[in-house]
Structure 1
Amino acid sequence: MAMSPAPSHGGHHLAPTFGGTVISHAASQRTPRRRRTGVVLAVLGAVVICVACIGTQWGANVAYDDARESFRDAVVQTATSQNELEQDMAALMAMTDAASTIAAADTGTLMDPGAKEVLAAALTDAADAEASTSALLDETLPTAEEKPTWAWELFGEAAELNDEREAASGLRSEFESARTVADDAAETVNDAGTSAILSATDAAGAFEAAHIAARNLDILALRNTAAELAGVEKLDSTVSGTYEQLEAAAAAMLSSEQAEIAEKQGALFEARTQIEAFARGLAPGILLDFDWSAYVNGFGDGDSMGGLATWWYGDPGYATIELSDSVAAHWPGARSQALIAHEVGHAISVKCEGMYDDSNPQSIEAWATAWAISQGFTDIANGTSAYGPPPQELVAVAAGCR
């Protein structure tokens, strides 16, 4: 009989069966839920990996930045030490230049030989210090390159920066050690140089006394230069230049002394030498030059004698006495001595400025005559014959000029 379709209401619709297994609708809905769980886990894993990557990147940046900051600090400190070394080396070279000038200027006239040897040794040691240190000044300090991007690059660069920081710190230690060497060398050179100079200035007085016949201006140059160098504590180009002047003054003294000796040569040499010593003995400490001629002031023939004095006030003052050859020819007669005393009376005015009226020739000659009389020279060649006797009160005043 014909079968009618299954009713569409009031019952359950059964799905087709396969192999006796019924596939229910409820069972078919579980698969999507399992897929969502897998996706969540995948996302969570990705997030974890991303966070880890971000952390690694952040850590790499921090490590790099710290390394770069430490590197920069080390380089700055090293650069400062290098600049200070450069300054110390410049000071050492300036010191050795001055000391070398001083050593080269020495003629063996004034400087103590032992002090000269110490100076030479100090200069040798300083040259060694300069040679061993100069290469350090050419060292190029490292610089940081542009910051990389990726973590592996940052970690690598950080490691290199740390290595270069250590190298810079080591170089700084070398700079500091070199500075100590340079400073010690400069101090040694300075001490040796100043000691050598002071040995020369100390010898200047004895040198002058041994060469009193040198011309006044050469003697004064030696005195003034020695006084300028007395107590010197630090070498520089000014000091070395002044020392060259000291040596030049000593050389000039020797030269002018020889010229003076040559000028006195001849039959009257001994008398002239004795007269000059006699005049200096009358006025100790007064610088006197002497010039000899056949005629002075028109006198010099026969028994006539001529003399002329020129003096310069100052600190110290000095004078030149001109004498005719006849003064030496009649030496050591009383007339010669009296005339010489008169001229010394003029010369000693540099020591007694203000004790008499030096505004006119008459008072000037009266003073010189009075001074000669005050010293016990009574022969009329003391000026009395030419200018007349001076007032007694002037003789008393002149006696106080020593």
Structure 2
Amino acid sequence: MTPEPPTSAIPDTVEPASAPGRRSRGTGTWLVLGLALFLLVSGAVLAVHAIANLRFDAAIAAHRAAVAEATAVEESTAAIEADAAATAGIAASMLAAPDAFVDPAAKATLSTAAGELGAEVAAAPAFEIESADAPGPIRRPVWFVSLDRASSVLTAETERLNGGIAESEAHATALVDLDQSTAGAGLAYLAGIAPVAASIEAAHGSARNVERIEYRLAMEQLAGATWGSDASARVEQYVAAATALQSTHAAEEAEKAGPLYERRVAVEAFARSIAGGVLLEFDWAPMVIGYGDNGSAGGTATWDTWEGGLSTITLSNSIAELWDDPRMPALVVHEVGHAITSKCYDLVAEYADDNEPWATAWAIGMGYTNGDGNGEWLYGRPSDELIQRSMSCR
């Protein structure tokens, strides 16, 4: 019996089982390559992002430092500008003094220095810490592109701030230099007033006593002035005093004008030459204490110890008319004897209520022995002791 073939059998040739396996390995390779590429790109992105963050941090730090420095420079420059403006104002006030009252060369030097200072004050750079383009508080962007954009804005602002800082510092340095040169010129200007003031006083000998004293006091104040607002105030005071001195001199000159002018000037000069520095002012009148006509002459004098002594002497016109008569100089010396009481009050105190014996003694002690003019005719001859005492008052 022949056996039947099996209904199932193992074929002689088996299909390779490895075909599906080769497909799996190819896919894995691509997956590995894709993953590697992803990691590479991600790393690159992370690196770029990290660099952008570092750049942003540096830009933030630089900007903050520039803002801090700009703020400090702005404050210091503002203080320097305030000082410079004050100096310019002081100089302008001083320069307002009339040319005749100051040294012209010193005034020209101060004017030039003050002009340069004023120009630099006006040329202050227009520098704002916060500009229209300046970023406000910046939050850190997430995307590196935004980080780079923000860094660029910050860097541009930092450069602008640094440029402004440099300009402000240069402006401040120039202001300091010009401020100092203007102050130096101002001090020279103040020092140059003294000789001019002395010549002004000498040229206005007829000025009234009070105005002359005020003028001298103004000069004393000016001599002790240092640079500052007080100095400009003292210059203004000096100018006012000089103006008043000139005004009263002109009034007194007008009062003694006329045919007797030259003789009146000679009488006044003689009286001042023997007054020992006591300030004298004069009034002239046709009649004084009932004398002045028919060859007579009269005079009066006050005395005051204020500011070293001052006096007003009133003389009749006849003294100028008859100045060649020896009685007239003797009378004037008698009146100066009254005036000089203010200088020698300790010697004269007992004659304070009746000053005529002293004035007569002083005239005699000065060598004016004409009894009709020196006071003897009216008041009698003083004691030899008083005459001797009077000779120590000059």
Q: TM-score, normalised by structure 2?
A: 0.82
Task: Quote the residue 1:215 is aligned against.
Answer: 208
- The residue correspondences of 1:173-322 to structure 2 (distance < 5 A) are 173-230=166-223, 232-234=225-227, 236-322=228-314
Q: Does 2:359 correspond to 1:350?
A: no
Task: Quote the residue 1:77 is aligned against.
Answer: 69
Task: Quote the residue 2:358 is aligned against.
Answer: 367
Contact 2:56 2:151 in 1 (8 A): yes
> Which residue identity does 1:91 align to in structure 2?
D
1:141 and 1:393, CA in 2 relative to 1: closer, same or farther beyond 3 A? Answer: farther
> Which residue identity does 1:83 align to in structure 2?
E
Distance, in Å, in 2 between the alignment partners of 1:316 and 1:154 is 85
Q: Does 2:339 correspond to 1:379?
A: no
Q: Percent identity over the alignment?
A: 34
Distance, in Å, in 2 between the alignment partners of 1:323 and 1:38 is 135
Contact 2:276 2:340 in 1 (8 A): no
CA drift of 1:321 comes to: 0.9
Determine which of 81, 87, 96 is the counterpart of 1:89.
Answer: 81
- The residue correspondences of 1:379-398 to structure 2 (distance < 5 A) are 379-380=370-371, 381-398=373-390
Contact 1:110 1:201 in 2 (8 A): no
Distance, in Å, in 2 between the alignment partners of 1:269 and 1:374 is 30
Range moving further from structure 2, 214-223 or 38-47: 38-47
Distance, in Å, in 2 between the alignment partners of 1:360 and 1:228 is 33
Task: Quote the residue 1:128 is aligned against.
Answer: 119
Distance, in Å, in 2 between the alignment partners of 1:346 and 1:308 is 9
CA drift of 1:122 comes to: 2.5
Contact 1:101 1:240 in 2 (8 A): yes
Distance, in Å, in 2 between the alignment partners of 1:316 and 1:197 is 26
1:157 and 1:113, CA in 2 relative to 1: closer, same or farther beyond 3 A? Answer: same
Distance, in Å, in 2 between the alignment partners of 1:21 and 1:71 is 75
Contact 1:109 1:250 in 2 (8 A): no
CA drift of 1:288 comes to: 0.8
1:140 and 1:165, CA in 2 relative to 1: closer, same or farther beyond 3 A? Answer: closer
Q: Secondary structure at the match of 2:284?
A: strand
Write out per-residue CA displacement over residues 36-93 of structure 1, whole angstroms, 9 at most, x where no aligned residue.
Answer: 9999999998788777766665554443233212212122212322333233233222
Distance, in Å, in 2 between the alignment partners of 1:163 and 1:137 is 18
Range moving further from structure 2, 84-93 or 314-323: 84-93
Contact 2:206 2:252 in 1 (8 A): yes
Write out per-residue CA displacement over residues 185-235 of structure 1, whole angstroms, 9 at most, x where no aligned residue.
Answer: 22332233332332222221122122212222222232222222225442x
CA drift of 1:279 comes to: 0.3
CA drift of 1:317 comes to: 2.4
Distance, in Å, in 2 between the alignment partners of 1:196 and 1:309 is 41
> Which residue identity does 1:188 align to in structure 2?
S
Unaligned runs of 5+ in 2: 1-7
Contact 1:369 1:384 in 2 (8 A): yes
The alignment covers a number of residue pairs equal to 387
Distance, in Å, in 2 between the alignment partners of 1:266 and 1:308 is 22
Distance, in Å, in 1 between the alignment partners of 2:87 and 2:198 is 28
Write out per-residue CA displacement over residues 258-282 of structure 1, whole angstroms, 9 at most, x where no aligned residue.
Answer: 2212211233323221110110011
Unaligned runs of 5+ in 1: 1-13
CA drift of 1:175 comes to: 1.0
Distance, in Å, in 2 between the alignment partners of 1:69 and 1:340 is 91
